[in-house]
Chains A and B, each alone.
Chain A
């Protein structure tokens, strides 16, 4: 295959459970064990109570459109065959955001539109979230 390899995430111990969850088609989010605040993207410390301990919680999977863009120019060769592609910034029920490709009609997008989280297996190692109309 001549197509360039899609950039792979460089994971760390702080983020690995999230990536492992995606492979199982679960969107796992960090919830602070000290104060219960959700945070995303995964990181070591809760900025509210400065507790390092977390629980990994499966997101409920419902979301609302916050904003979006349509990517026309691929800045990396791996994405040349994928553009144009709609990328939606969505607010999850848990209060954190998800940026993911939208598998639907861009003309229907308005702020607040209800969406569902889905999953796309890119390779045996990598699964990414997608957003679909609710």
Chain B
């Protein structure tokens, strides 16, 4: 089941062209301490996680410091639903670390 979410995340995040256009409107990257606090960083960290990367300290900061405010989506040429990717990535983490059960709602989340 986890794999469904993972492959969806991988598919979405692979669209990223690393142009950084999304960063211009992101409030957290402006005041955060590095690129991981911006949408480009978040998307690429999720990509890294979906390829069996580790939930490092900064990976978690990147995921959980997002406001889900969606300003970034106004500028993304690849049309990635950035906040949704981040939310789903959080849910993947929750499944593995916060005892959230897996059997529910996978399709609902990524439809």
Chain B associates with chain A: no
Q: Interface residues, chain A, CB within 8 Å of chain B?
A: none
